[in-house]
C-alpha cells in the first residue's frame, strides 16, 4: 500500500517537478547544505544525497538508534547527529587526512 512507502520529491524554485526517489526508511530530520541533502531516519541511518539528482553520495551510515536531529557545521567539516538515547555523534566529513 502507499501508506508504507516514503519518497523524497524534488521541485524547482518555480514549482516544476524534477524527480523523486523512493526511500526504504522513514526520514526523521534533514538538512540541506550547499549541493547535498543530509538525512537521518527513524531506522538509524545517516544518508547524504546529491541535491539535484537525489542519488546517494555514500552508502548510508548505521547509527544503530533512531536519529532525532541533524546539523552541519558552518564550515561543512562535521555532521552532528542527535540520537534517541541522548547521545551526540560527530561525523567528520572529507578524506581521513582532512578530518
Compute the Cα dihedral for 13, 15, 21, 26 and give only its sign.
positive
Residues pairing with 69 in the sheet:
82
* pLDDT higher than threshold 80 for residue 39: yes
Round to whole Å and give the CA distance between 50 and 35: 6
pLDDT for the residue 94:
75
For 69, residues 6+ apart whose C-beta sits below 8 A from its C-beta are 28, 29, 40, 81, 82
Residue 73: pLDDT band by 50, 70, 90 thresholds? Answer: very high
Backbone angles phi and psi of 57, in degrees to 5: -85, -40
Q: Which residue has the cell 546529491?
A: 50
Domains of the chain: residue spans and CATH:
1-90 (2.40.128.630)
pLDDT for the residue 93:
86
Amino acid at each position: 500500500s502507499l501508506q508504507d512507502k516514503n519518497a523524497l520529491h524534488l521541485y524547482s524554485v518555480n514549482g516544476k517537478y524534477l524527480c523523486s526517489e523512493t526511500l526504504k526508511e522513514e526520514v526523521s530530520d534533514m538538512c540541506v547544505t550547499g549541493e547535498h541533502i543530509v538525512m537521518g531516519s527513524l531506522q538509524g541511518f545517516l544518508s547524504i544525497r546529491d541535491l539535484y539528482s537525489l542519488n546517494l553520495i555514500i552508502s548510508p551510515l548505521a547509527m544503530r538508534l533512531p536519529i532525532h536531529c541533524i546539523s552541519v557545521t558552518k564550515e561543512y567539516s562535521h555532521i552532528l547527529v542527535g540520537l534517541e538515547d541522548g547521545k551526540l555523534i560527530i561525523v567528520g566529513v572529507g578524506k581521513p587526512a582532512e578530518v
